Amino acid sequence: MSAAMNSRDSVPALELVGLSKRFGGLSACDRVSFAVPDGSLTAVIGPNGAGKTTIFNLVTGLYPADDGAVRLYGEPILGFPLGRIARLGLIRTFQSARIYPGMTVLENLLAGAHLRVRASAIAEMLWLPSARREERSLAAKGEALLELVGLTAWRDAPATDLPMGGQKLLEVARALMAGPRVLLLDEPAAGLNDAETAELAALLRAIRDAGVTLMVVEHNMSLVMGVADQVIVLDAGSVVTSGSPRAIQQDRRVIEAYVGQEDLDLAGSAP
């Protein structure tokens, strides 16, 4: 568990209370309640169709909720427009890496800073000193993030030339350019090999240790058990149980119904 999590105050970074969503006759999210402590890394697991991505879509404003509440550091945000939620510091990624074609790796990365640009449009057009200073600052941050995720050598390459693992890491780095307080990652290890997953695990720990709260939806149990502070288990749109990785590993109901013995054995050799 991170030092940041140990020193947090009593207000969770993110709190879901009775969150519900139906699509026709299907209950995709049924009175889901849990808290994500500040400075923690919380993993959300469960079988396909359990409602994991739906929760992300509700929390970030992509879907309207039918009922319930979502609070970001105690402030209700349910029903806020997507842009307002992002400006408050709640940033997400998607299951499939979203790379902008026709742009280099660095340009893709810098696109994530659009919410934080302070220079006016006039200052940008006239290339005033304030705009130049801001661009240099953003470029320096971008270079540092490329180094953090091991993509410096790809700086000026077309982003579409990156292998899948590189594209996933680029998307995480681009999300960090937005300066998130809480970062939601949807299946960040999907399509990654073992070496790339180990690199991702190290990156997630570094992000958490830098003070960014993380909530991760993930199927890779080895990754989850190696990096999570707490694990939320979903099935059929409801929370089945929650606890530390060790507690989840020892819950036979979770093993048999939601994880599978083979995946649990793999979790013993976490990255």
Between 138 and 60, residue with greater pLDDT: 60
The domain boundary residue, chosen from 136, 161, 186: 161
Assess whether 211 and 251 both reside in one domain: yes
Pair 95, 201 in one domain: yes
CATH code of the domain covering residue 61 = 3.40.50.300
- Whether 139 and 85 map to the same domain: the answer is no
Summary mean pLDDT of the chain: 84
pLDDT at 263 (0 to 100): 52
> Do both 174 and 257 map to the same domain?
yes
Residues 117-137, mean pLDDT to the nearest whole number:
53
The Cα 169–Cα 204 span in angstroms is 10
144 and 134 in a common domain: yes
CA distance 83 to 18: 24
- How is the beta sheet containing 213-217 ordered, strand by strand? 90-92, 182-186, 213-217, 41-45, 230-235, 238-243
Do both 231 and 178 map to the same domain?
yes
Per-residue H/E/C for the chain: CCHHHHCCCCCCCEEEEEEEEEECCEEEEEEEEEEECCCCEEEEECCCCCCHHHHHHHHCCCCCCCEEEEEECCEECCCCCHHHHHHCCEEECCCCCCCCCCCEHHHHHHHHHHHHCCCCHHHHHHCCHHHHHHHHHHHHHHHHHHHHCCCHHHCCCEHHHCCHHHHHHHHHHHHHHCCCCEEEEECCCCCCCHHHHHHHHHHHHHHHHCCCEEEEECCCHHHHHHHCCEEEEEECCEEEEEECHHHHHCCHHHHHHHHCHHHHHHHCCCC
pLDDT at 251: 85
- What mean pLDDT is predicted for residues 121-137? 55
**134 plus 50 within the same structural domain:** no
Residue 47 has a pLDDT of 85
Do 108 and 239 reside in the same domain of the chain? no
202 with 244, same domain? yes
Structure tokens at 99: 């790379």
- Percent with pLDDT over 70 in the chain: 81
- Do 156 and 67 fall within a single domain? no
Report how far residue 241's alpha carbon sits from residue 231's, in angstroms, rounded to the nearest whole number: 8
Place of tokens 């280099």: 104
The range of the structural domain enclosing residue 211 comes to 3-99+165-267
Model pLDDT, residue 123: 45
Tokens of 86: 């992002």
pLDDT digits (tens, 9 = 90+) for 184-197: 999 999 888 898 89
Q: Where does a domain end: 114, 138, 161?
A: 161
- The residue-averaged pLDDT of 241-265 equals 72
In this prediction, residue 142 carries a pLDDT of 87
The domain tally of the chain equals: 2
pLDDT at 271: 58
CA atoms of 32 and 234, how far apart (whole Å): 9
53 token code pair: 């991505």
Claim to verify: residue 172 and residue 210 sit in the same structural domain: yes
pLDDT at residue number 252? 76
What is residue 170's predicted lDDT score, i.e. its pLDDT?
Answer: 92
The answer on 78 and 41 residing in a single domain is yes
pLDDT of residue 95: 79
Q: What is the mean pLDDT of residues 169-175?
A: 91
Give the pLDDT confidence score for residue 9 in this predicted structure. 52
Model pLDDT, residue 4? 44
Q: Which has the higher per-residue pLDDT, 258 or 229?
A: 229
The mean pLDDT value for 80-107 works out to: 90
Give per-residue pLDDT as tens, 195-210.
889 989 999 999 999 9
Mean pLDDT, range 71-92, rounded to an integer: 94
Instruction: Read off the pLDDT of each residue in 11-20 and give the average, rounded to a whole number.
Output: 97
Say what the pLDDT of residue 125 is.
52
pLDDT band at 261 (very low <50, low <70, confident <90, very high): very low
Domain boundary among 126, 142, 161: 161
